[in-house]
A and B are shown apart, each in its own frame.
Chain A
Amino acid sequence: MNDEQQMLRDSAERYLRDNYDFAARQAMADQGIGIDEQHWQNFVAMGWTAMSFTEQDGGFGFGLAAIGQLAELFGYHLVREPMLESALLAGEVIAAGTEQAKQSLLPAIMDGSALATIPYPTDTGPELSERNGRRTVRGRLEYVPSGGTATHLVTPASHGSAPAWVIVDLQAPGVQRQTFLTHDGRLGAHVTLDTDLEDSDLLLSGDDAQQMQTTVYQRAMLLAAAEGVGAMQGALDLTVDYTRQRQQFGQPLSAFQALQHRMADMLIQVELARSLVTAACDAVDGNSDQALTLSLAAKAKVDSAARRVTQEAIQMHGGIATTNEYRVGHYFKRMALLESWPQHRDQVIEAFIQGRQPVN
């Protein structure tokens, strides 16, 4: 880590540790509130919503090595505000779009007044058409992450047979949302679109749009993996602390070797996953030809490791971990849902097999 990355990490760690209270988070999630406005404003004030954009665009130009650190902390502190989706995924697509689109949309992403998200990958996406001089987008997107919280949706679309990316104002007429609370304390939505677009809402088309499919979902995969490393570390730390305090049979649970070895295994899994995520972030930043393979490996590794680590965390805590009030089960729930984002593990491994270099 260089100094800038270290500073970013330290300040984020301090803020989240001192302010991101788990009980308050839960209370808000239980009321169906998608984001904590106070936190959201502070995230903006700390520059997180601008971190990945270039300095010309008004951002700070951080690469994935730094962003990954922040994602890891989000995982550790169970941050549920869709900051990563908005600034780092949807924002990535907008920043690659037309100058007009950038000028009208990026400032709102950076100042937090707009909160954008992207859907699960789709083969074609909604359909774009032109009629009577109006550009219309029509279609349905299901299980949009934080779709119930977002103000905007950045989505792949098809323009005839050509791929495109568009941004849709989710408050516009002709947009319907079926919003639901998800098990990780967020507001997802099924989104049905039949609405008009401005010229500046067409972000990318043709080959650029096709390329963005790969880029943005690879980034999504890696951010999810980084978040997973933080979540696993959180689950492990809680388990270690808890087993030291909890007395049974006249001694702390942590004195039992059967449990010590299982916690050692949790640590092994966390560290292996961390090594791959760090290497993948560096590879993406350095445009290495190993970037995609490492990203796929990192996501697949985190998925399997997180299952094991978060399940073990619950098992070793015992009954307390099955309550919604206690923190550790929330790592389990978040990781269970991240397993399929943006693709399921089997698809990730299939892509790994197709993409790896032949062994000679």
Chain B
Amino acid sequence: MSLGFLSISAGATARSPLLDAALGGGARSEVRDGWEVVSSFGDPTAERSACIESVGFADLSHLTKLELQHDGARPFAAGEALRLPGGWRCPVRPRLDLLLAEPSAAAALRPGLEAEGRVCDLTGSLGALAIAGPLAREVFARFCALDLREGSMPVRGFRPGSVARTPGYVLHERPERFLVLFGAAYGQYFWEVVADAVERLGGRPVGTDSLPAIDEEPARA
């Protein structure tokens, strides 16, 4: 495959662009699907509570991100992402979609996508942070001018735009949970910006295991 060097190979562990910052903040990590993933910050109960009562943010940069350039009709509306098994298909431009998937689910998606158009692996190009909790929108309001109100950005809403003064994307994954994608080279900067906003609002960084599942009913404090 001529673009194989863009993808994560089996020979070494992959590291998120946010990992150093997370480890510096007390993160505990383990290797999953070839990635060193932050599973917790040492207190899963408090982390889970933060996502229910205030806000938590977690590094999901290990998600596979595939760019699909195609010339077919899109099966879903502009500005609205399509839920796939283990992932999302997000419209960026009329002929360009971004596929997000757990690494374990990505391999199954890829053949179908390649039949549709040209696929390019952007996993390493984009960092990803989930921001979850009732104050998630307030967190975004601290560094992002996108209108993320429910009426403008309902669940499944997907929007490219400026996030923390850099080009990015925001996906409304479920009530009170957003996924923000940004240039991987901005990883440390992004961590600083989001941590600053979250901690000011009483939230905290959380491990991926503490995030509310996308398809789970929202819990209430």
- A and B co-occur in one complex: no
